[in-house]
Structure 1
Amino acid sequence: MSSTPRAAQTDPNALDFIRFAVDSGVIAFGDFTTKAGRQSPYFFNAGLFNDGAMLGVLAQFYARALLASGVAFDMLFGPAYKGIPLGAVVAVELARLGRNVGFAYNRKEAKDHGEGGTTVGAPIRGRVVIVDDVISAGTATGESVRLIRAAGAEPAAVLIALDRQEKAAIAGRTLDISAVQHVSQEYGLPVISIANLDSLLAYLADSGHAELARWRPAVQQYRDSYGV
């Protein structure tokens, strides 16, 4: 079983990412119900990184986290649907930094005309990093791992924006490990996150904004109740 690299709560890249996500409205505070039915005081919606400027900055955070991890890789893979634009912009940023690698993604349904098949882009080969926004139940990751291995390539890591560090709810049961830890154990892969819930708590403690700081006790209580 591989270890799971995580963004340290004092990592400047992690804290800068949290600030960027909060300022962009991607991390919002309030009363939200998660997919697992939990009442959460915060919500992370990567779909709100929805213009060219934000995607360009987002790609920088992903690329920095990947390169800092030390994971060896030959290409990127973006699982449908959110992983497709994420993988694409990260590939562009890596090329800008001098690491020009291939990028591929999958279709939800196989195409039976034209080039056909279930994947688009570069041939899947070598060591492949899967790029996504978060890991919830690990379904998209599992599908990606199987597809990559079926192509004769090697999944190298999963790269995500935020590790929520909470107990996973999978197939109707709550685990004592997080979704990130579950994926790492299930597939023997490191999971690299730009930031995690501890990063968010550190940011709320030091942001200097009273409106944001008032949410820290609620986020901490949520961490205490559901965290790993």
Structure 2
Amino acid sequence: MTIATDFIQFALNQNVLRFGEFKTKAGRLSPYFFNAGLFNDGSSLLTLANAYADVLIERRAAGFEFDMLFGPAYKGITLAAATAMALAAKGHNVPYAYNRKEAKDHGEGGHLVGADMAGQRVVIIDDVISAGTSVRESVDIIKAVNATPAAVLIALDRMERSGTDTDIGVHSAVQAVQAEYNLPVYAIASLADLIIYLSQTDSTELTEYREKVTAYRARYGI
């Protein structure tokens, strides 16, 4: 079992990943839907954090270097904190930081909370990349404190071209981020992993969606 396979199975069990007919923000009818907000209890968050941590440990073993984590407000705050805890439990203790949407004018003040990022190689932790807005804001924040964005780590890469149903782009949001910032984007699982999972499952309930997901990728995928 791979990290991606385990994660897809877990997401299905948690109803985070569902099949059917869902309208996306771009107006497309997708045969699957992923809602990371449903990792909403201690046990599921721990499993998610362990998956993030396993990807980072695997990448580090392959030569990728990083010093700390950053969680963009608001969803990324919990993800970065939980991933830092999971990494520590696996013997990789790293600091983390996050931003506030509104600056405090008392106490330590400012927009940033957590470890000092100056001079550090920072991994941005988020659930997905849709328009890339959160990543762009995070990169600006990290560079503003003389730190280096090292990578973005997300839960699922939809591998889907941007645009609308009638105006389909050439690149995905992930590819756009990679090109704009020369920044690697890692994912626990991708649409390609999902299709492999559907091709190997024994569940008749799931196999009926294999062709639909494959057709969706053929039309909109990168």
State the TM-score, normalized to the length of structure 2.
Answer: 0.94
Structure 1 equivalent of residue 94 of structure 2:
101
**Corresponding position of 2:209:** 215
1-structure distance, mates of 2:181, 2:168:
19
1:54 aligns with 44
Q: Which has the higher contact order (CA 8 A, sep 6+)?
A: 1
Instruction: Give structure 1 stretches of 5+ with no counterpart.
Output: 1-10
Partner of 1:135: 129
Structure 1 position 36, deviation (Å): 1.0
Pairwise CA distance, 1:173:
6.2
Cα offset for 1:118?
0.7
- 1:57 and 1:146 map into 2 onto residues whose CA distance is 30
Distance 2:107 2:168 in 1: 44
Q: How many corresponding residue pairs?
A: 217
Give the alignment's Cα RMSD to 1 decimal.
1.5
Shift of 1:110: 1.6
Query: What is the CA–CA distance in structure 2 between the aligned matches of 1:127 and 1:195, rounded to whole Å?
Result: 23
Residue aligned with 1:124, SS:
coil
* CA displacement 1:152-209 (0-9 Å, x = unmatched): 0000000011100010239x96420111111011111000111100111111111110
Kept after mapping to 2: 8 A contact 1:104/1:124: yes
What TM-score do the two structures reach when normalised by structure 1? 0.92
> Once the two structures are superposed, what CA deviation does each residue of 1:12-61 show, in whole Å capped at 9, x if it has no partner?
11111111111110001111111111110100000000111111111111
In the TM superposition, structure 1's runs of 4+ consecutive aligned residues that sit over 3 Å from their partners are: none
Aligned partners of 1:62 and 1:82: how far apart in 2? 14
Structure-to-structure mapping, 1:180-219, within 5 angstroms: 180-219=174-213
In 1: Cα distance, 2:47 partner to 2:135 partner: 24
1:158 to 152, 177, 186: 152
Q: Is the 8 A contact 2:5 2:193 kept in 1?
A: yes
Contact persistence 2:123–2:152 (CA under 8 A): yes
Distance 1:169 1:111 in 2: 37
Is 1:92 the counterpart of 2:82? The answer is no
